[in-house]
Structure 1
Amino acid sequence: MSQGEFQRDAGPAPVAASAIAARQLRYFDFVMAAFVAILLLSNVIGAGKVAVIHLPWIGDWPFGAGILFFPLSYVIGDVLTEVYGYARARRVIWAGFVAVAFMAFMSWVVVALPPAPTWTNQAAYETVFGQVPRIVLASMIAFWAGEFVNSYILARMKLWSGGRHLWMRTIGSTIGGQGVDSLIFYPLAFWGAAGWTNDLVLTVLVTQWALKVGWEVLLTPVTYLVVGFLKRREGLDVFDEGTDFTPFRARV
């Protein structure tokens, strides 16, 4: 498909991803920073806690507390792929992966350092920042696989649809990406772990996936606003024609 053959909604002229490899972009760095910040904070604060909500006619229903904010990283991932293309989204995913790895290493080192005799908060510090290697490994693998599935599906659907129906692409990619993320993370992190029955793992897994997709649907108007703003300001609408979709590289 040539550049002139793209069919899409009105807006900035479509360009192939390879045409902007060396181009300076006004907002890309800010979007990448937001992605990494949300990823790190949601992993530190919410990943290991099971909260509960009372549903009418159902009763108490458990869910992972990270669901409240972690899906924002998928929304930003959608924005990155939609506006800047798969290659730049891939670069951001790798940046996030390395940031999470360093966070886990830093947490391990700081928690392991012997506390001063006058500092009495070691137990609380270990509770908050102590990292279980199994959970860290599960989180990193699930994030890496889920984000790449999400970005790949969205980029491919953009080509198939000729750039139309953004809502279909963002929701469709989230169904796939978040499905892979949840299917990897919860069994790998909690199957057979103390306090986690097999039924609880499956319940939280399905609930997480459904809530993440639901978040994506609810945030679709916001996604449209952010995507429209960035495309207008950057003056581009990237299509991944001829893109090498391998995840095993970080070069644009």
Structure 2
Amino acid sequence: MDKALSRIDGNAGARRHFRYFDYVMAAFVAILLLSNLIGASKLATIQGYTFGAGILFFPLSYVIGDVLTEVYGYANARRCVWMGFSALVFMAFMSFVVVAMPPAEDWGGQAAYESVFGSTWRIVLASVLAFWAGEFVNSFVLARMKVWTAGKHLWSRTIGSTFFGQAVDSAIFYPVAFLGVWSNTQVVTVMVTNWLLKVLWEAVLTPVTYAVVAWFKAREGVDVFDEGIDFSPFAKADAV
């Protein structure tokens, strides 16, 4: 840990006013929504490998999630997960309502609009549940590993937390969304492939994570260690 930083526990971090926390939370929610809205509907093929285009940018939300927990502590990261979850639910609700509205007679874009925004209820449910569970696992593992490693070896906890968080994310999303639609082999293959690709992305972005974490810590002036924190996703803000 940088000697210039003051070590505080997770409870103090939850009550502290940070200079840049609101900006990081806004970036986290924005990337989450845009990755699901813009990237999720397109399949891309590069050198014979086909994948959902959103996978190129969605891991950035996990990098920011790592930054949130590492810099601001689990309690503040929990607030962001609930904000992201609420935003996803509202986006899904808005999409259903807008797609279902009868189009004007002279507007010919309904079919294209439905193809982009008309996700099935299974995919929406899978996406929301997978995000919620995966992000909480990601934050929990990172926070616990930070205490275990005494704040050293940031790479081990960013990659380790993504390994477990994305495993939970993928294990929920693909079966809920596609089991019975795809063959069991396809579900397992895509699930494992995308999980490993996301973990690889996290590893590749490790230097970026180091730089961003160092920048925010230097400006916030503290290093949060989640000791004595209630890790329940449902803990009240005034109880953390």
Return the match for 1:243 from 201, 223, 229.
229
2:43 and 2:52 in contact (8 A); partners too:
yes
1:197 deviates by: 3.0
Map 1:77-226 → 2, pairs under 5 A: 77-193=65-181, 196-226=182-212
Q: Is 1:16 matched with 2:9?
A: yes
- What does residue 45 of structure 1 align with? 38
1:248 deviates by: 1.4
- 1:143 and 1:48 map into 2 onto residues whose CA distance is 17
Q: Is 1:75 matched with 2:75?
A: no
Identify the range of structure 1 (21-30 vs 88-97) with the bigger mean alpha-carbon deviation.
Answer: 21-30
- 2:127 and 2:102 map into 1 onto residues whose CA distance is 27
- 1:122 and 1:249 map into 2 onto residues whose CA distance is 43
- 1:115 and 1:46 map into 2 onto residues whose CA distance is 25
TM-score of the superposed pair, with normalisation by structure 1 = 0.90
- 1:121 and 1:50 map into 2 onto residues whose CA distance is 21
Residue correspondences, number: 238
Which segments of 5 or more consecutive residues in structure 2 lack a partner in the other structure?
A: none
- 2:221 and 2:35 map into 1 onto residues whose CA distance is 32
2:14 and 2:73 in contact (8 A); partners too:
no
- What does residue 33 of structure 1 align with? 26
Identity %: 68
- What does residue 227 of structure 1 align with? 213
1:64 and 1:208 in contact (8 A); partners too:
no
- 1:91 and 1:53 map into 2 onto residues whose CA distance is 37
Partner AA of 2:174 in structure 1? Y
Q: 1:157 to 1:75 in 2, by over 3 A?
A: same
**Alpha-carbon deviations, 1:84-108, whole Å to 9, x = none?**
0000000000000000000000000
2:13 and 2:73 in contact (8 A); partners too:
no
- 2:137 and 2:21 map into 1 onto residues whose CA distance is 21
1:12 and 1:231 in contact (8 A); partners too:
yes
- What does residue 3 of structure 1 align with? none
- 2:187 and 2:43 map into 1 onto residues whose CA distance is 10
**Structure 2 residue matching 1:244: 3-state secondary structure:** coil
Partner AA of 1:175 in structure 2? F
1:250 deviates by: 5.5
**Structure 2 residue matching 1:238: 3-state secondary structure:** strand
**Structure 2 residue matching 1:212: 3-state secondary structure:** helix
- What does residue 5 of structure 1 align with? none
1:202 deviates by: 1.7
Q: 1:87 to 1:156 in 2, by over 3 A?
A: same
- 2:186 and 2:2 map into 1 onto residues whose CA distance is 44
Kindly report the root-mean-square deviation, in angstroms, between the aligned alpha carbons of the 2 structures.
1.4
**Structure 2 residue matching 1:21: 3-state secondary structure:** helix
**Structure 1 residue matching 2:16: 3-state secondary structure:** coil
**Alpha-carbon deviations, 1:60-98, whole Å to 9, x = none?**
333232210111110000000000000000000000000
Which segments of 5 or more consecutive residues in structure 1 lack a partner in the other structure?
A: 1-7, 55-59
1:9 and 1:164 in contact (8 A); partners too:
no
1:191 deviates by: 1.4
2:143 and 2:225 in contact (8 A); partners too:
yes
